[in-house]
Amino acid sequence: MHPLAERIQQQDMRALARAITLVENDSPEKLDMLSDIFSLKKNAHYIGITGSPGAGKSSLVNRLLTHLREKGLTVAVIAVDPTSPFSGGALLGDRVRMNQHFTDPGIFIRSMATRGSLGGLARATKDTLRVCDAYGFDVILVETVGVGQSELDIMKVADTTALVLTPNSGDVLQIFKAGIMEIADLFVINKADLPGVGRLKATLEEYIMIADPKGWVPPIIRTVSTENKGVDDLWSEIQRHRTYLYESHKGQKQRQRQLKLEVYDLIREEIWREVYRKIEAEDSKQEAFRDLIADPYQMAKEWFQEWKEKGGNQHG
Ligand SMILES: Nc1nc2c(ncn2[C@@H]2O[C@H](COP(=O)(O)OP(=O)(O)OP(=O)(O)O)[C@@H](O)[C@H]2O)c(=O)[nH]1
Ligand SMILES: [Mg+2]
């Protein structure tokens, strides 16, 4: 077994952090390590918290954390910021707010920083979920910032996704266009202390009616995270969804679909890594990049063909 997998099995938190760093850095030993870690897989509930910037996701995550700890559950929080992991004031703010949790061994908080990683942010986040699962956390909360394609990819691995909206912010239309509404298992109206709650609720109810979901109907939950209101409601609805996934076998089907996509994803990443490293290492090819009128289609065609003929990663 990979030494880090062994240490994670013994709940060594430094090994956990180290493994995530290897994931973020696209370390060549990544697949071997993750495969060993995967064999330790436990039964964490993956919960995605998504929504527009400033909707109150972090405040809500913070409240949930306290709530879950009071129930004796252990929690990992993964904060994903696709744009700027370090300069984002939001994340720095999160750190300050979440400070109170830092000394609790039942809590692990990590923000993802994968700019430039070949596999991309969604890939690294999925792997990180697996690592946290293997460690044995009961609940893994993934907070994403923004409502774009990257968030969509990340949220697809969550068992339960909560979409956080705020009254009178006009974010519903944008979220709808981005296809985020469809992945929401729960709608959370946060900042329910502000005016416009009734209208947003009506909009959501209308959406649900038109979407006409079979089986699970997304509940609408009102929260005021600044006042710690609605958090227990939110948690009981999240649990109700988990029970639904289990009893309807939907969870199993969801994970099966995910597995297929994931295998393709990993293979694509492996091929890409090989081709990329090879081209980056070849002076003549780097020289060719400087030719401003070179035909990119021709180059891609020839170089990929060349890579295949040399037996892929045989380095021949
Ligand atoms: N009035 C009111 N303000 C809230 C509520 N929840 C959060 N806020 C405020 O909204 C602001 C943004 O909260 P965050 O929790 O950082 O929101 P976020 O969605 O994590 O923000 P990003 O990570 O930047 O996308 C903060 O100033 C909070 O104090 C609420 O229920 N009511
Ligand atoms: Mg936040």
Q: Which ligand is nearest to the CA of 192?
A: 1
Q: Is residue 165 part of a domain?
A: yes
Task: Say how many Å lie between the CA of residue 63 and the centre of ligand 1.
Answer: 12
Closest to 262 (Cα-Cα) out of 184, 160, 156: 156
Q: Is residue 87 part of a domain?
A: yes
Q: Which ligand is nearest to the CA of 53?
A: 1
Helix 30-38 vs helix 13-24: crossing angle, to nearest 10:
140
Whole-angstrom distance, CA of residue 184 vs CA of residue 208: 11
Vertex 244: Cα angle to 240 and 249 (nearest 5): 155
pLDDT (tens, 9 = 90+) of the chain, 316 residues, equals 999 999 999 999 999 999 999 998 888 889 999 999 999 989 999 999 998 888 999 999 999 999 999 999 999 999 887 554 443 334 444 544 555 566 788 999 988 865 556 667 788 899 999 999 999 999 999 998 777 777 787 788 899 999 999 998 888 888 888 888 888 999 999 999 999 999 999 999 999 999 999 899 999 999 999 999 999 999 999 999 999 999 998 878 887 888 888 899 889 888 988 899 899 999 999 999 999 899 999 999 999 999 999 876 554 4
pLDDT for res 151: 77
Whole-angstrom distance, CA of residue 303 vs CA of residue 301: 6
Task: Say how many Å lie between the CA of residue 90 and the centre of ligand 2.
Answer: 6
SS3 at position 259: helix
pLDDT for res 156: 80
Pocket of ligand 1 (CB under 6 A): 53-59, 90, 93, 145, 190-191, 193-194, 224-226
Answer with the one of 221, 247, 273 that is the final residue of a domain.
247
pLDDT for res 86: 42
Asked if residue 137 and residue 27 are part of one domain, the reply reads yes
Asked if residue 95 and residue 235 are part of one domain, the reply reads yes
Q: Is residue 255 part of a domain?
A: no
Residue located nearest, by CA, to atom 28 of ligand 1:
56
pLDDT for res 299: 95
Q: Is residue 289 part of a domain?
A: yes
pLDDT for res 280: 92
Asked if residue 293 and residue 203 are part of one domain, the reply reads no
What's the DSSP call for residue 226? Answer: G
Residue located nearest, by CA, to atom 17 of ligand 1:
56
Asked if residue 177 and residue 91 are part of one domain, the reply reads yes
From residue 264, alpha-carbon distances to 39, 152, 154, 276, 307 in Å are: 20, 18, 16, 18, 20
Range of the domain at 78: 3-247
What's the DSSP call for residue 251? Answer: H
User: What is the count of structural domains for the chain?
Assistant: 2
Beta-bridge partner residues of 109: 77
Asked if residue 276 and residue 241 are part of one domain, the reply reads no
Asked if residue 183 and residue 295 are part of one domain, the reply reads no
Asked if residue 205 and residue 166 are part of one domain, the reply reads yes
Q: Is residue 314 part of a domain?
A: no
Q: Ligand 1, closest atom to CA 229?
A: 31
H, E, C per residue of 271-314: HHHHHHHHHHHCHHHHHHHCCCCCCHHHHHHHHHHHHHHCCHHH
Q: Ligand 1, closest atom to CA 94?
A: 16
Concatenating the DSSP letter of every residue in 93-110 gives HHHHHHGGGTT-TTEEEE
Q: Is residue 257 part of a domain?
A: no
Helix 30-38 vs helix 120-135: crossing angle, to nearest 10:
40
Extract long-range pairs of 154-157: CB within 8 Å, 24+ residues apart: 154/48, 154/80, 154/121, 154/122, 154/125, 154/126, 155/48, 155/50, 155/180, 155/183, 156/183, 156/258, 157/46, 157/48, 157/125, 157/126, 157/129, 157/258
Asked if residue 216 and residue 112 are part of one domain, the reply reads yes
Which two tokens mark 118? 């070949």
Testing ligand 1's pocket by substitution, the residue of 225, 227, 233 carrying the most ligand atoms inside 8 A of its CB is: 225
Residue located nearest, by CA, to atom 29 of ligand 1:
226
Residue located nearest, by CA, to atom 21 of ligand 1:
54
HSE-CB at 287 with a 13 A cutoff on CA atoms is 3
Q: What is the CATH number of the domain that holds 56?
A: 3.40.50.300
Helix 89-98 vs helix 57-70: crossing angle, to nearest 10:
20
Task: Say how many Å lie between the CA of residue 304 and the centre of ligand 1.
Answer: 48
Asked if residue 128 and residue 10 are part of one domain, the reply reads yes
Q: Is residue 252 part of a domain?
A: no
Q: Is residue 256 part of a domain?
A: no
Q: Ligand 1, closest atom to CA 223?
A: 31
Task: Say how many Å lie between the CA of residue 64 and the centre of ligand 1.
Answer: 14
pLDDT for res 314: 53
Asked if residue 222 and residue 89 are part of one domain, the reply reads yes
Q: Ligand 1, closest atom to CA 90?
A: 24
Residue located nearest, by CA, to atom 2 of ligand 1:
191
Cut 0.85: pTM above it = yes
Asked if residue 276 and residue 205 are part of one domain, the reply reads no
Contacts with 161 (C-beta within 8 Å, 6 or more apart), sequence order: 47, 48, 49, 50, 155, 183, 184, 185, 186
H, E, C per residue of 22-38: HHHCCCCCHHHHHHHHH
Task: Say how many Å lie between the CA of residue 40 and the centre of ligand 2.
Answer: 30
Q: Ligand 1, closest atom to CA 88?
A: 24
Task: Say how many Å lie between the CA of residue 304 and the centre of ligand 2.
Answer: 41
Residue located nearest, by CA, to atom 10 of ligand 1:
56
In 285-308, which positions are buried (b, 16+ CB within 10 angstroms) versus exposed (e)? Answer: eeeeeeeeeeeeeeeeeebeeebe
Asked if residue 235 and residue 122 are part of one domain, the reply reads yes
Answer with the one of 247, 271, 287 that is the final residue of a domain.
247
